[in-house]
Chain A
Amino acid sequence: MRARGVRVDRRRFLATSVTSFAAIVSGGCDRFSASPTFREFLAGAEGLNQRVQRALLWRGALAREYTPADISPNFRANGSQDAYNLPAGYVEQADKGFLEWHLQVDGLVTKPASFTLADLRALPARTQITRHDCVEGWSCIGEWTGPQLATILDRVGLRPDARFVVFHCADELPRYVDGSHAFYESIDLIDAYHPQTILAYEMNGVPLPVAHGAPLRLRVERQLGYKMAKFLTRIEVVNRVDHIGRGGGGTWADDGYEWYAGI
């Protein structure tokens, strides 16, 4: 019985050693994570990822496109999905086909313009079946249709000092959470002019459902899903993004996620 007792003790000792070691590492790292300087140091890897990926990637490299047979039967929606985080009357407007909705395009452009849904549908459209990779880890494949962002930027004409394209959204989740700016996101001109960067008004052949950002959402196929802003209301061309929201360049970036979400 003694031998057995020793064995149990040894097993317990091993288990305790492993869990204590992990807990010390985890707790120690919590202290580091709480330090803004250290976090900024670690987050330097984001800049490295962006520079290396941009250097390695041919700028026009396309994300893989799939066949209709590959479309996921159950495409998960994430973030704001219903009336709860949307302005009053938004879902009713969706039911009527967004007749009063329009997309304002302004900022560092030569000819600011406003597009109704009919205007956007009249533009040349691109249809692409692509994989949507969520930062959480899952992927879904869907078909998206809409004009290339480049078409719209060419219509309004960029001024020479333009550097980023900011997407303002109807989604008010961040306003409810911390009273900040409504949901926004931004990309640079490399992604803005990428052929697969489109403003999608259709998903899987039907008008974009509210859960996926009706009536218009951004698709930036070489980045993670959280960059693909939903419920678009305004596109603003800017030179810098640090005066918008909390200055991170997007609601998720303000929340600690990478602005460049290529990995």
Chain B
Amino acid sequence: MNMSLDRLLEAMMATLRTDVIPHVGDPYARGQAIGVVDLLNNIGARIEWARAPIAEAVEEKRRLLREAGVALPAARDEPVAGTTADLLAQRDQLDMLICEKLESLSARDDAHARQALACLCQHAHDELTLQMQFVRKPLFAEIASGGGADRSSGR
């Protein structure tokens, strides 16, 4: 999942400014929190999502669709290029084509369709498995308890 980096940075700064800093009592800690806002504000224009994994995903989806006999729009058959935003848009369009193919194959009941369907399902699994290398264990326990014990107070 690639959310907009601009939006992520904006929300992090807003949360610090509105919900965190006003409640930080220690001046040094408050200054450090403002320092984080300053950093976030400055790195936005210099970073983007890692391009290589997205380009690889686009390439893999194209290969899969070609093997499944889906004619790609001309622009989708050229070497993978463009900005990260372009690649994300291409990925979404290719996912749409994969979903359309899934739909048409599901309506059939022959061996070829079952095999092609299995390839598309395997792709969905493999892609998610690859993405898991970037996913860290969530801190839900601490978030839900406000950083305290493993339980929330009564209501």
Q: Do A and B bind each other?
A: no
